[in-house]
């Protein structure tokens, strides 16, 4: 492991706004803040938003700055990336954001039905492994158990296949689509969006790619992927 990573991991262990629950512990016991993040950690009953696969946490921090009366939690498995988000939270004394280092597969052990919105920002598109996509039915059926009754999912991606895959799941399952564009920067939706760009988004824009955005209500479980769509996709 590189020296820089080691330094970041060591620093991570000292940050009070970074939770690193060991996976083996979560498998046997829920996180002690599950269902109580707003009251017991943030000390309020404000709306809670998650950013999943947050990387350096640009969205989590950007939204926390824009909306001080809401709570934000970024989740990612990579401690060396989370280091940047946690450092910003610490330096700027941002009191309405924190981070959790965990596999998103364990989200139901960490959160109960207390989340108003989930952002999935520029996730890996996994062109040949649909079941690994963070918006695949297996993941959505985890998210439905952490969202409150009106909870929504926001997907921001440069990958048109991932966008249309996710949109198809929403349509086929009768979920309410609230916002939908495959060209955000040429859409009126852009004006209503938080003006935040992650490092990945900036890179994709520099490459001339279009950005897709989808927001839908996830108020029920969705059907599993049919076998043919789990197989390597010719997309």
Can you give the binding site for ligand SAM, defined by CB under 6 A? 53-55, 76-78, 81, 103-105, 121-124, 198-200
User: 124 or 176, CB closer to ligand SAM?
Assistant: 124
CB of 71 to ligand SAM, least distance (A): 19
User: 121 or 152, CB closer to ligand SAM?
Assistant: 121
CB of 92 to ligand SAM, least distance (A): 19
Instruction: Look up 158 and say whether it is catalytic.
Output: no
User: 25 or 172, CB closer to ligand SAM?
Assistant: 25
3-state secondary structure of 59: helix
CB of 54 to ligand SAM, least distance (A): 5
User: 36 or 78, CB closer to ligand SAM?
Assistant: 78
| Residues belonging to the chain | 235
Contact 138, 131 (CB under 8 A): yes
CB of 39 to ligand SAM, least distance (A): 25
CB of 174 to ligand SAM, least distance (A): 27
User: 96 or 198, CB closer to ligand SAM?
Assistant: 198
From 124, 158, 182, 206, active-site residue: 124
**Whole-angstrom Cα distance, residue 57 to residue 76?**
9
Rounded to a whole number of angstroms, the CA Rg of the chain reads 17
Phi and psi at residue 8, to the nearest 5°: -65, -40
Catalytic residue numbers read 124
């Amino acid at each position: 492991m590189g020296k820089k990573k080691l330094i970041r991991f060591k620093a991570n262990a000292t940050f009070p706004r970074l939770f690193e629950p060991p996976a083996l512990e979560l498998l046997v016991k829920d996180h002690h803040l599950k269902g109580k993040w707003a009251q017991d950690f943030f000390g309020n009953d404000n709306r809670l938003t998650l950013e999943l696969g947050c990387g350096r946490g640009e969205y989590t921090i950007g939204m926390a700055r824009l909306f001080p009366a809401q709570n934000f939690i970024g989740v990612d498995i990579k401690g060396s990336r989370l280091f940047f988000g946690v450092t910003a939270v610490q330096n700027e004394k941002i009191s309405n954001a924190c981070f959790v280092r965990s596999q998103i597969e364990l989200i139901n052990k960490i959160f109960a039905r207390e989340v108003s919105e989930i952002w999935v920002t520029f996730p890996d598109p996994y062109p040949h492994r649909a079941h690994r996509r963070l918006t695949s039915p297996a993941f959505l059926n985890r998210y439905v158990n952490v969202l409150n009754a009106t909870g929504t999912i926001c997907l921001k991606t440069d990958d048109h296949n991932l966008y249309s895959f996710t949109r198809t799941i929403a349509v086929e399952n009768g979920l309410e689509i609230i916002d939908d564009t495959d060209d955000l920067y040429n859409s009126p939706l852009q004006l209503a969006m938080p003006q935040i760009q992650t490092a990945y988004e900036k890179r994709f824009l520099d490459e001339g790619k279009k950005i897709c955005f989808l927001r839908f209500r996830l108020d029920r479980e969705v059907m599993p992927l049919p076998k043919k769509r789990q197989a390597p996709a010719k997309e």
